[in-house]
Structure 1
Amino acid sequence: MKTNPWTKRLLVLLLIPLALWMARSEKYTFTPNTALTTITGERITLKALQGKPVLVTFWATSCPSCIKEIPHLVALYKQFHPKGLEIIAIAMVYDPPNRVVAMAHEQNLPYPIVLDITSEHAKAFGRVWATPTTLLISPDGSVAKRDIGAFDPNDMQARIEQLLKG
């Protein structure tokens, strides 16, 4: 049985908003004890970061939007890290570790980079499936903002400033 091409397009148009809605309404399972190990071997727990805003970004070296966001992330880090902001970049499971490490060095990334070898972190932070996905976690540990796709740098800057004041 042949399917009308318009039927396929309509189905895709209906499924994309549903997937985005499901991802935004997803309950997050990360806890203050969620532990992350960086490419340099440093162990970070969210519990140790409580009281600070934390920006967690899921990315991949093969993702053009992720690469485009790097200068914005570096600028946010340089501007707000001295005031308490932490940024953690988590590379997706399908990203080869050697490429992640090489890009981190090439781009001279100042914030910690984590490899998600088993998809454990993508699951813990709300079943992250698209890159980039960015979560801004408030000092009390709640998710203040979740962006699927590239974030708006001006909006993110304003939100971070508000969390640092609060």
Structure 2
Amino acid sequence: MNSLGSKLFSLLVVVLLAALIYVTVFSGNGQAPDIQVKTASNQTLNLSKPMKPVLVNFWATTCPGCVAEMPHLADMKKKFGDKFELVAVSMDYDPEDQVKKFMANHSYPFTYIMDKTGSMAKAFGGVMLTPTSFLIAPNGNIVYQKVGEIDYAIVNKKLAEMTPDL
């Protein structure tokens, strides 16, 4: 009888592991949180249903990789124009005066948001490392996420697919 119990337990463990692997591999990256932001053009954008692609990039002034990728992100925004939104979110641990100084010295063509309370980082699954980026499709699905500098070839390809008239 003990043998039957251990076999059933083993089967249960295998089924649970298979379910976990299936959800991890095949379920995509999930849905963007229901957060509204004001864009640089003073429009309200709901990240859970943005109606156009949005790249949310968590960054910090003390992060060399973050600062290095900003000009590349600006080029991407210029390339896709109004068909694409880019939101750069500073981390709550980044001193506010330092973020404001950076923003004043770098007038990139995208939206800056200061996440003073960490609520946006928390809504995106507890972002702690920078840079961390999420590409959100027009329907609100997260189609790409990366901790570290983004892979521009992949993101540009996904943006081209989501904005075919460009």
Report the TM-score range of the alignment, normalised by the length of the smaller protein: 0.7 to 0.9
Q: Separation in 2 of the partners of 1:100 and 1:123?
A: 19
Deviation, 1:79, is 0.5
Amino acid at match of 1:67: V
Deviations 1:37-73 (A, max 9, x none): 57x8x57331696210000000000000001110110
Corresponding residue SS for 1:165: coil
Cα 1:86–1:49 shift into 2, 3 Å? farther
Deviation, 1:125, is 1.3
Amino acid at match of 2:33: F
TM-score (norm 1): 0.74
Deviations 1:3-48 (A, max 9, x none): xxxxxxxxxxxxxxxxxx9xxx9866611xx12357x8x5733169
Q: Separation in 1 of the partners of 2:31 and 2:48?
A: 18
Amino acid at match of 1:139: P
Corresponding residue SS for 2:163: helix
Determine if contact 2:48/2:140 at 8 Å carries over to the other structure: no
Cα 1:48–1:150 shift into 2, 3 Å? closer
Q: Separation in 1 of the partners of 2:78 and 2:38?
A: 22
Number of the residue aligned with 1:30: 33
Q: Separation in 2 of the partners of 1:123 and 1:92?
A: 11
Check if 1:46 corresponds to 2:49: no
Alignment of 1:7-22 (within 5 A): none
- List alignment gaps of at least 5 residues for structure 2: 1-23
CA RMSD of aligned residues (A): 2.5
Number of the residue aligned with 2:103: 104
Number of the residue aligned with 1:57: 57
Q: Separation in 1 of the partners of 2:86 and 2:98?
A: 20
Number of the residue aligned with 1:85: 84
Q: Moved runs in structure 1, 4+ residues, more than 3 A?
A: 25-29, 42-45
Corresponding residue SS for 1:67: helix
Corresponding residue SS for 1:136: strand
TM-score (norm 2): 0.74
Tell me the percent identity.
Answer: 32
Determine if contact 1:61/1:103 at 8 Å carries over to the other structure: yes
Q: Separation in 1 of the partners of 2:73 and 2:155?
A: 10
Q: Separation in 2 of the partners of 1:29 and 1:138?
A: 9
Number of the residue aligned with 2:163: 164
Determine if contact 2:30/2:141 at 8 Å carries over to the other structure: no
* Count of residue correspondences: 138
Number of the residue aligned with 1:144: 143
Q: Separation in 1 of the partners of 2:47 and 2:36?
A: 9
Cα 1:160–1:103 shift into 2, 3 Å? same
